[in-house]
């Protein structure tokens, strides 16, 4: 099945014959060890193994961090936006390497060129677009953008290790 990973900042159309997957929250939880309140990926819209992922985070006023960031003007912390991108990258890596349910973890090693452009407020749907930049047996590099519609909320390049 060939399908375009839509949204600004997303990948181009998958090559013909490429398997494009979507994952519900149960499948996301099988791929990631994270749980509430730190599970920041709600579902995967499209995953092209060995290439890219488009996941989403529904930002709710019920998030714990809004109690203190900031009272009267709730804004999702930038570091949590980057964490959401990293979790999406973790799902991409685990699914691409066939490690879902194996107990293998994906650890952050580096964050580079992080930029925060648009505040993320309660009620937003944060689109997480991540692509492989480099993939080796245990270390992977990714480029990610968190989008609010056609606006970039945050972006970063990051490195992770499969452990």
Active-site residue, selected from the candidate residues 34, 54, 69, 129: 69
pLDDT digits (tens, 9 = 90+) for 44-79: 999 999 999 999 999 999 999 999 999 999 999 999
For 79, the token pair is 């570091």
For 66, the token pair is 């809004």
Among 83, 90, 148, residue whose Cα is nearest residue 119: 148
Q: What's the pLDDT score for residue 163?
A: 87
| 3-class state of residue 115 by DSSP | strand
User: Hey, where are the domains in the chain?
Assistant: 21-162
| 3-class state of residue 97 by DSSP | coil
CATH topology of domain 21-162: Thiol Ester Dehydrase; Chain A (3.10.129)
Summary mean pLDDT of the chain: 90
pLDDT digits (tens, 9 = 90+) for 4-53: 334 444 444 666 667 899 999 999 999 999 999 999 999 999 999 999 99
For the chain, where are the E strands, in sequence order? 21-23, 43-48, 52-58, 106-116, 125-135, 139-148, 151-162
Q: Residue 34 catalytic?
A: no
Q: What's the pLDDT score for residue 20?
A: 94
């Amino acid at each position: 099945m060939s399908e375009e990973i839509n949204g600004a900042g997303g990948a181009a159309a998958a090559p013909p014959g490429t398997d494009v997957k979507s994952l519900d929250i149960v499948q996301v939880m099988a791929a990631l060890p994270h749980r509430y309140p730190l599970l920041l990926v709600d579902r995967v819209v499209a995953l092209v193994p060995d290439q890219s992922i488009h996941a989403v985070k529904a930002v709710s006023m019920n998030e714990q961090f809004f109690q203190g960031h900031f009272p009267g003007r709730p804004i999702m912390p930038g570091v949590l936006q980057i964490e959401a991108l990293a979790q999406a990258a973790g799902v991409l890596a685990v699914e691409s390497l066939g490690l879902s349910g194996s107990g293998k973890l994906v650890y952050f090693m580096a964050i580079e060129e992080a930029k925060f452009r648009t505040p993320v407020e309660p009620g937003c749907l944060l689109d997480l677009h991540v692509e492989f930049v480099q993939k080796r047996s245990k270390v992977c590099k990714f480029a990610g953008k968190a989008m609010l519609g056609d606006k970039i909320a945050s972006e970063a390049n990051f490195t992770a290790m499969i452990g």
